[in-house]
Amino acid sequence: MKNKKVIVMGKGDLCIKICEWFHHDPSHTLTHIVPVRPEPTWTGSITSWAKEHRVDLIESGNYRDLSAEAIAEADIVMSVFYDKIIKKDFIDSCKKIINLHNAPLPKYRGVSPINWALKNNEQEHGVTIHEISPGIDGEHTLDDGRIIGQVKYSIYPEFDEVKDVLQRSVEYGYSLFKSTMPILDQITPAKQEDHLSTYYSSELNGFLKERRNFTKAESR
């Protein structure tokens, strides 16, 4: 089996767990990590992890600073909560570029999907791994790429805080990732049902009110 070279872009505990898996899996080599800048303080540091494990780190957090050679050699580029807009020319230059999104796509495209699911009193949420495709304006903004894998789980808006569901999503997201990667090349991605889609931009975050932060108390 060919050893696949991987670039990971992102932040947080789930991103670290995914990097750990790639780092230790004999069929993959984690070559570069592109962290989110500024790095959030409320979750684990992917920067610290990269330095500890001596994985090449793009300190700027800008995927544009990856060398053309690194991109050409990468078999997989994976985004895990990477929050920069990814341009079409970069997407087109990747052999395979995928994203892990904290929602059951096509519902809750965009930002703060867990917050919005609780705000809307959903009883179910999910995590999706999907292809990254350029949006209609040549930028990856809509989370509308073909679905590779998805898992759904129950949520309880009457007593769940955002932080509770976020932690649950790490567990389900990692399980989905581990079951998907060994068979990635065998999966035929499925087109999203766009008529079922919902999308939330950062401009709408003010309407989240009591669900804007990790807890209702922090949102007051």
Q: How far apart are CA 140 and CA 72, in angstroms?
A: 20
The Cα 98–Cα 114 span in angstroms is: 20
With 0.85 as the threshold, say if the pTM is over it: yes
The pLDDT of residue 127:
98
3-state secondary structure of 83: coil
In this prediction, residues 159-172 reach a mean pLDDT of 97
Q: Tell me the pLDDT tens digit for each residue of 190-202.
A: 999 999 999 999 9
| pLDDT tens digits, one per residue of 170-179 | 999 999 999 9
pLDDT for the residue numbered 11: 97
> In the predicted model, is pLDDT for residue 140 greater than 70?
no
Whole-angstrom Cα distance, residue 1 to residue 15?
25
Percent of the chain residues past pLDDT 90, beyond the cut: 90
